Amino acid sequence: MKWLVCVVLNVVLLLAALNARAELTIEITQGVDNPTAIAVVPFAWQGAGLAPEDIAAVVDGDLARSGQFAPVGRADMLGRPSTAAEVFYRDWRALDTEYLLVGRVSVTSQMRIEYELFDVLRQTSVYSGVETGPVNEARMLGHRVADAVYEKLTGIRGAFATRLLYISVTRVPGGKDYSRLTLADSDGARPIVLLESREPMLAPTWSPDGKQIAYVSFETSRPAIYRQDLATGQREQLTNFKGLNGAPAWSPDGNTMAMVLSKDGSPDIYLMNLTTKRLTRITRHYAIDTEPAWMPDGKSLLFTSDRGGRPQIYRYDLRTGAIERLTFEGSYNARARVAQDGRNVVMVHQQGGRFHIALLDLVTNRTQVLTSTELDESPSIAPNGSMVLYATKYAERGILAAVSVDGGVKFRLPAREGDVREPAWSPYMSR
């Protein structure tokens, strides 16, 4: 029995250590010129002992990370109201605060968060809401509060209550590196290592309902595509063909997966019916066709091809089979990802010998370079289309970074240890 306790304790400590290494930190490097001043007062805890989570700190951090808001520091607050009756607007006007958020947290069978947003200048309540859920999801409830406040004040749906996938790599001098497929909140908190391997992992991606993921693993000594259920952890190997098996991408309806296979010669785009596992080859070219990305309406796919001599973005019409080249500016454009509006496409764009993240407007055909670092790759766009997450280099390490689609807001998410790469931003998560 003593031996069993020691084994369990060792496993718990190991998992804690893995998660600590995978956790991301946030470094805001650029925000808008005139951010909205908001005070997020510590929410009143209506229970015994200490509150299980500082909900206000979660909300405060989310709003600050958006770059649109400048939260008031707690040390500067002249009061700690938790209800409308306790709000004295003069205290907040003295701090040049534009908006004030107060709230209360209680727990019975579930956690309950009641909150209210005030316009300080107009001295009126502008929004109130309630969030409920399991105590162990307290941080996610806080993200939902931040989503509601963000949408009320910007008119854009918030995307804080979403998740991230990424690959973290720990270097082993003289040996094989450790690769970990990691799941975390949108702010990098609560990392969970879904899979650890001494072999590489690539291209994590989400199902449209956020309940499954797919990725490429070399655990069988060659690349193979797997899908995994997040609730049960059950894994299914979808491909194991000779040659390349890569770049999985779920269709918007969740029934089909686009992928890249070289089993019939050069790498081409295939579609797999996820029920029957039947494959349909949709490109046939001696060049390399790779990195498929679905348009939101499911009627066409974008992909990268060097059929014109250098990698560029093309669109494949699933009804007619017609192929159209979309990018002409720059000698290299790759890894396209499409916003839910179907208009904006983010991609890796080479300019002056450096690789940046750029945005292509499919209506105006205008390309805008969003980043200024040198080795940017693997862009993934937030479900509300406002931010782009990507991998880059900083201080000789692989890190994640984010930039707003107008280039005005930027922040870094380095890991506490090791390199981080291949980010994938989830869709909106069902409650």
Domains and CATH numbers, the chain: 27-154 (3.40.50.10070), 163-425 (2.120.10.30)
Does the pTM surpass 0.75? The reply is yes
Give the residue among 65, 57, 78 at the shortest CA–CA distance from 389.
65
pLDDT on residue 33 = 73
Least confident of 28-32, 180-184, 337-341, 377-381: 28-32
Q: In angstroms, rounded to a whole number, what is the distance separating the alpha carbons of residues 406 and 419?
A: 27
- Which residues face 337 on adjacent strands? 346
Give the residue among 247, 289, 294, 237 at the shortest CA–CA distance from 264.
289
Q: In angstroms, rounded to a whole number, what is the distance separating the alpha carbons of residues 71 and 77?
A: 11
Checking if the pLDDT of 407 tops 90, the result is no
Q: In angstroms, rounded to a whole number, what is the distance separating the alpha carbons of residues 148 and 317?
A: 37
pLDDT on residue 21 = 54
pLDDT tens-place string over residues 251-269: 999 999 999 999 998 999 9
- Which residues face 314 on adjacent strands? 303, 325
Q: In angstroms, rounded to a whole number, what is the distance separating the alpha carbons of residues 334 and 348?
A: 5
To the nearest whole number, what is the mean pLDDT of the chain?
A: 91
Hey, is 323 helix, strand or coil?
Answer: strand
Characterize the bridge pairing of strands 124-133 and 111-119: antiparallel
